[in-house]
């Protein structure tokens, strides 16, 4: 399997239940809900995306010929201190690898999950939930998109970009996730979206507010 990767970086998780935790991020190229080209945005299933996942030209990006090669590049991003924590015998001290995109489940497979584990990583995925999961993941975050069917209906966190016409929060609140987050949609009306999300969380305490801390901090 050749893995097409837009970029690799070491940063703090900015969103959801693991916010503030250091992690190596692997942003895979490509998505099944939008081509990533502006001319295709109107009419795409997912039309509010603010992520560049096209091509393999970002920092650390490229076409990796094997899982071992990709994991080596991810380990190389960990600073020395973090490497000292990559200890397979002590699960709580492992580093975190976040597989994101684009849609990571177009490429993330069992051999890559295994290779990440062998290097001492816990493996998290951030997916739109339309594709089946490979076995062995340590953390599953699903961000459902209106108009796209869900293949993944349980996991660790459900993170809904809010508001989205056609998303049924009542139905989603019944799915078997440990955490339910609303994340205000970025862009021109972000303040209004944030106020609406705050109101919704106050009225429906099962839902928690997720803010994109990395954007506010100016880190990747
Ligand atoms: S599903 Fe995610 S990566 Fe794909 S277009 Fe939507 S927001 Fe972007």
Separation of 1 CA from ligand 1 center, angstroms? 23
Please, is 152 exposed, middle or buried when counting C-beta atoms within 10 Å of its C-beta (0-12, 13-18, 19+)? Answer: buried
For the Cβ of 102 lying below 6 angstroms from any atom of ligand 1, the answer is yes
Residues 155-177 have pLDDT tens digits of: 999 999 999 999 999 999 999 99
Q: Which residues of the chain have pLDDT under 50?
A: 88, 90-93
Could you tell me the pTM of the whole model?
0.94
Kindly list the domain boundaries of the chain, sorted by start residue: 3-161
pLDDT tens profile 26-40:
999 999 999 999 999
**What CATH number should be reported for the domain whose range is 3-161?**
3.20.20.70
- Long-range contacts of range 182-190, CB-CB < 8 Å, 24 or more positions apart? 182/207, 182/208, 182/209, 182/210, 183/15, 183/16, 183/143, 183/159, 183/209, 183/210, 183/211, 183/212, 184/209, 184/211, 185/48, 185/161, 186/50, 186/212, 186/215, 187/48, 187/50
Ligand 1: distance of its center to the CA of 36 in Å? 8
């Amino acid at each position: 399997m050749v893995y097409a990767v837009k970029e690799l970086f070491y940063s703090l998780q900015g969103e959801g239940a693991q916010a503030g935790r250091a992690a190596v991020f692997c942003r895979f190229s490509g998505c099944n809900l939008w081509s990533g080209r502006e001319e295709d945005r109107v009419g795409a299933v997912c039309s509010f995306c603010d992520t560049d996942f096209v091509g393999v030209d970002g920092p650390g990006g490229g076409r990796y010929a094997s899982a071992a090669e990709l994991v080596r590049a991810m380990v190389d991003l960990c600073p020395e201190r973090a490497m000292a924590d990559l200890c397979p015998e002590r699960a709580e001290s492992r580093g975190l690898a976040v597989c994101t995109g684009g849609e990571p489940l177009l490429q993330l497979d069992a051999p890559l999950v295994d290779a990440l584990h062998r290097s001492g990583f816990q493996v998290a995925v951030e997916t739109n939930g339309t594709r089946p999961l490979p076995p062995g993941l340590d953390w599953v975050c699903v961000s459902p998109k209106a108009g796209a069917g869900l293949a993944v209906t349980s996991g660790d966190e459900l993170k809904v970009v809010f508001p989205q016409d056609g998303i049924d929060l009542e139905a989603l609140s019944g799915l078997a996730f440990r955490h339910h987050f609303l994340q205000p949609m970025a862009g021109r009306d972000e303040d209004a979206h944030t106020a609406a999300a705050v109101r919704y969380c106050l009225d429906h305490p099962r839902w928690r507010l997720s803010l994109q801390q990395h954007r506010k901090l100016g880190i990747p």
